[in-house]
């Protein structure tokens, strides 16, 4: 790295931050990429870790490895705790680092709509730790059921409630349906895993609410086929250690359960709100920073916010969806903008190219909405597999993933079915 060069600091090595870093390879700037994890995580496949199809290392790759040939880039394992806008400095939990240009790409997390106390009973899915914790809870529930003599308690162990029927909730419910009906078949002696009740609760009137109605309907049919009980138009009003209470119209119902999985609200990372405070700019209700057409923070052309943490509404009047493509495209855009700016060239506003959406429900079952081409079933699932392998292309083990998926398809086997984490025994029966 050359002294005196323009210093670009990127916070977050997810889809947005990593895309920016990759694109800056040939730009004459010094890049520092900060992340509190030493790996880039392919979040779209987290549910496969949570349900025992893939292992954590299959879906994560060390950032240092990805960027090892980027001579102008260094990677720091650190937690950013504040942004000192006036002094152009990122404050870390154990130091600080100065910037000329800052790219904030710290993503989002789940939110419990003012009920943070629900989190310990109904964990969400965002990190590797979340995924292995979910896997532990799911597998432990079947283990506990096998040893439970009391019919009411047994029923609670065998009831799985998933809150939120967006893509993550639908994927989790479908995978659980497969685990119960196929993977665990013949594994137990006193219970029949196929008797598990998998309940998917959604406040909107249909599953996959952002998708066209006919794809929601196709997804509903696929889920029902896997034995999932769908409760749409139902809001969760309470969560306790051993129950979920839902309300449908005037009717409330308490569902006894020992496994509750949260796949509902999303909240921008805390750093976004701290940045807004410091820069005196607004954020939206989901904690996303409202950015300018070039993704900069109002009044601060040297600070960009990208990905899940940005509210970019200039194109459609609505914020872009919190998915990987906007983050990737925004990361590349900011890198290009910076290169042009440093050469004194004019820059254009960001423009998002929507490549479409897809969600998978299970083996051979998915829905895809690709520019008016609406597919459901096996063709959508094959496209889903292809795209995910394409985007995981920087991972050396993509061949391994492909083989594992192929094996799962043929055998229904989920070999990553380990119960790990803190000693779970004795079971709280
Ligand atoms: C379970 C799940 C399934 C999904 N499925 C899909 C899908 O099928 N298709 C799709 O397109 N999208 C999917 N998404 C959404 C997609 O993963 C996100 O839109 C995308 O990751 C956003 O990229 P980002 O760069 O904004 O943030 P992220 O990828 O979340 O990256 C943020 C990074 O910032 C780091 N970080 C956060 N705070 C700090 C801090 N204070 N200091 C240092 N580092 C910090 C984090 O460690 C992380 O590496 C899914 C998300 C989840 C959780």
Which phi-psi region, left, alpha or beta, contains residue 334 (left: φ > 0; alpha: ψ -120 to 50)? alpha
Q: Mean pLDDT, the chain, as a whole number?
A: 93
What mean pLDDT comes out for the span 86-114?
97
- The helices-and-strands tally (H runs, E runs) of the chain is 11, 25
Helices (H), 78-150: 128-146
Count CB atoms within 10 A of the CB of residue 252. 13
Per-residue confidence at 429, pLDDT binned at 50, 70, 90?
low
Q: Would you say residue 392 has pLDDT above 80?
A: no
The protein residue whose alpha carbon is closest to atom 4 in ligand 1 is 44
The protein residue whose alpha carbon is closest to atom 38 in ligand 1 is 106
What mean pLDDT comes out for the span 300-311?
98
b/e map 311-346, b = 16+ CB within 10 Å: bbeeeeeebbebbbbbbbbbbbbbbbbbbebeeeee
Q: Would you say residue 78 has pLDDT above 70?
A: yes
Q: Give me the long-range contacts of 26-29 (CB less than 8 A, separation at least 24).
A: 27/72, 27/335, 27/338, 27/339, 27/342, 28/2, 28/72, 28/342, 29/5, 29/72, 29/101, 29/338, 29/342
Give 176-185 pLDDT, tens digit per residue. Answer: 999 999 889 9
DSSP state of 399: H
Of residues 244 and 390, the one with the higher pLDDT is 244
Looking at residue 217, its pLDDT comes to 97
Catalytic residue among 61, 148, 171, 202: 171
Q: Would you say residue 311 has pLDDT above 60?
A: yes
Q: Would you say residue 304 has pLDDT above 80?
A: yes
Looking at residue 191, its pLDDT comes to 97
Per-residue confidence at 122, pLDDT binned at 50, 70, 90?
very high
Count CB atoms within 10 A of the CB of residue 36. 15
- Structure tokens given for 212: 């066209």
Q: Give me the long-range contacts of 65-70 (CB less than 8 A, separation at least 24).
A: 66/18, 66/22, 66/40, 66/394, 67/21, 67/22, 67/33, 70/21, 70/22, 70/24, 70/25, 70/31
Looking at residue 422, its pLDDT comes to 67
What mean pLDDT comes out for the span 64-77?
96
CA distances (Å), 139 to each of 43, 259, 260, 301, in order? Answer: 21, 10, 13, 49
Give 19-52 pLDDT, tens digit per residue. Answer: 999 999 999 999 999 999 999 999 999 999 999 8
The protein residue whose alpha carbon is closest to atom 7 in ligand 1 is 44
- Answer positive or negative: Cα dihedral of 393, 58, 321, 83: negative
Please give the Cα distance from 102 to 305 (Å, whole number). Answer: 8
Q: Would you say residue 335 has pLDDT above 60?
A: yes
How far is ligand 1, taken at its centre, from the CA of residue 179, in Å?
26
Looking at residue 88, its pLDDT comes to 98
How far is ligand 1, taken at its centre, from the CA of residue 288, in Å?
13
Give 268-279 pLDDT, tens digit per residue. Answer: 999 999 999 999
How far is ligand 1, taken at its centre, from the CA of residue 181, in Å?
31
Please give the Cα distance from 270 to 276 (Å, whole number). Answer: 10
Question: Which atom of ligand 1 lies closest to the CA of 331?
Answer: 25
**Backbone phi, psi, residue 279, to 5°:** -90, -5
Q: Would you say residue 195 has pLDDT above 60?
A: yes
How far is ligand 1, taken at its centre, from the CA of residue 388, in Å?
15
Ligand 1 pocket, residue 333 CB under 6 Å: no
- Tracing tokens 């997804």 back to the chain, one arrives at 219
Cα angle at 63 between 59 and 64, to 5 degrees? 135
Q: Is 119 a catalytic residue?
A: no
The protein residue whose alpha carbon is closest to atom 31 in ligand 1 is 14
As a whole number of Å, the CA-based R_g of the chain is 22
**Model pTM?**
0.95
Looking at residue 5, its pLDDT comes to 92
Please give the Cα distance from 254 to 259 (Å, whole number). Answer: 14
Looking at residue 54, its pLDDT comes to 86
């Amino acid at each position: 790295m050359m002294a005196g060069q323009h210093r670009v600091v990127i916070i977050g090595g997810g889809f947005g931050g990593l895309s920016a870093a990759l694109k800056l390879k040939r730009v004459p700037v010094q890049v520092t990429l900060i992340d509190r994890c030493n790996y880039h995580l392919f979040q779209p496949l987290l549910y496969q870790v949570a349900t025992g199809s893939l292992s954590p290392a299959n879906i994560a790759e060390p950032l240092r490895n990805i960027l090892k040939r980027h001579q102008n880039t260094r990677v720091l394992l650190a937690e950013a705790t504040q942004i000192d806008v006036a002094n152009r400095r990122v404050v870390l939990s154990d130091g600080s680092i100065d910037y000329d240009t800052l790219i904030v790409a710290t993503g989002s997390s789940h939110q419990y709509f003012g009920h943070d106390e629900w989190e310990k009973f109904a964990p969400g899915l965002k990190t590797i730790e979340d995924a292995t914790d979910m896997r532990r809870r799911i597998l432990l529930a079947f283990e506990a059921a096998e040893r439970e003599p009391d019919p009411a308690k047994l029923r609670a162990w065998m009831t799985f409630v998933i809150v939120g029927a967006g893509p993550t909730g639908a994927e989790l419910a479908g995978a659980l349906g497969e685990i119960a009906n196929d993977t665990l078949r013949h594994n137990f002696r006193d219970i029949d895993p196929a008797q598990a009740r998998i309940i998917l609760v959604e406040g909107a009137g249909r599953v996959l609410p952002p998708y066209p109605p006919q794809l929601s309907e196709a997804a509903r049919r696929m889920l029902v086929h896997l034995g999932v009980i769908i409760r749409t138009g139902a809001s969760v009003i309470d969560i306790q250690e051993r129950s979920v209470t839902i309300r449908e119209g005037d009717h409330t119902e308490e569902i006894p359960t020992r496994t509750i999985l949260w796949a509902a609200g999303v909240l921008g990372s805390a750093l976004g709100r701290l940045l807004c405070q410091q820069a005196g700019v607004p954020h939206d209700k989901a904690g996303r920073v409202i950015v300018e057409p070039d993704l900069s923070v109002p009044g601060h052309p040297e600070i960009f916010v990208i990905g899940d943490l940005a509210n970019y509404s200039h194109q459609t009047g609505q914020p872009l969806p919190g998915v990987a493509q906007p983050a990737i495209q925004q990361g590349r855009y900011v890198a290009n903008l910076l290169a042009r700016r440093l050469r004194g060239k004019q820059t254009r506003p960001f423009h998002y190219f929507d490549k479409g959406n897809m969600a998978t429900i299970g083996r051979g079952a998915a829905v895809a909405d690709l520019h008016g081409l609406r597919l459901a079933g096996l063709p959508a699932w094959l496209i889903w597999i292809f795209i995910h392998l394409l985007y995981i292309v920087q991972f050396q083990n993509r061949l391994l993933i492909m083989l594992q998926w192929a094996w799962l398809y043929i055998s229904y086997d989920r070999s990553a079915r380990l119960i790990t984490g803190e000693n779970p025994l004795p079971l709280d029966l």
